[in-house]
Amino acid sequence: MVGLGIFVFAINNTQAANNRTVNITHDIPYVDVKHKGKTVRIVRQQEPGSMVDPDFAQTSRPCPPYCVQPIKLAPGVETIGEIELLEYLQKVSRGKPVLVIDSREADWLKKGMIPGATHIPWTKLHNKTASDEAIADILQLRFNAVHTGALWNFEIAKTLVFYCNGPWCGQSPTNIRALLSIGYPAHKIKWYRGGMQAWLLFGLTTVKP
């Protein structure tokens, strides 16, 4: 369901929509979000001949590790699309307790990331590549989880929206499963399964570090 914020945005920007050839939706020409303190306008590519980056057009990668991920990743974890992701990005911009997380390794960021997202490589949330102490720091300092003795309290923890390279990418699913295993509430975890591949296929704005 499209949220109220997007609806209000659409009503206020009908005229702008009429001036664009390629809108995000019928009523939404663009969405403004905050990225590293600056406003970034997310639009779709206006050039009809634009093509997706060849790295995201590739159809065949070795599986494993590049295996097709299910639509429903885990019970209670909501899989979302582009419009829902835009709503969460707006919540981030308004200072709501939401974090959109790019789980990819740093080299991929050279090809762009979604504006308003925070880069936390999957390796920093995986116990095979990061220490328990380092993971705990992220949980407390970035996600607002509270460590009480041997237990975690997620009552005021942020809603986390994960993405990586696309439906064939296992980086964000790995992080989601790891967080669920320590008790992070499933309803506070969202997954943009389409990832960068779907984002770029729609010609949506990216930013580079």
Q: At residue 81, does pLDDT exceed 50?
A: yes
pTM over 0.85, yes/no: yes
11 lies in some domain: no
27 lies in some domain: no
Q: What is the pLDDT of residues 92-150, one digit of tens each?
A: 999 999 999 999 999 999 999 999 999 999 999 999 999 999 999 999 999 999 998 88
Instruction: Give the helix/strand (H/E) hosting 162.
Output: strand 159-163
Domain that holds residue 127: 45-201
29 lies in some domain: no
166 lies in some domain: yes
23 lies in some domain: no
Q: What is the pLDDT of residues 33-57, one digit of tens each?
A: 999 999 999 999 998 888 998 889 9
Which CATH number fits the domain that encloses residue 147? 3.40.250.10
187 lies in some domain: yes
Specify the number of domains making up the chain.
1
Average pLDDT of the residues in 171-178: 97
93 lies in some domain: yes
Q: How many C-beta atoms lie closer than 10 Å to residue 208's C-beta?
A: 8
Query: Is the Cβ–Cβ distance between 173 and 122 less than 8 Å?
Result: no
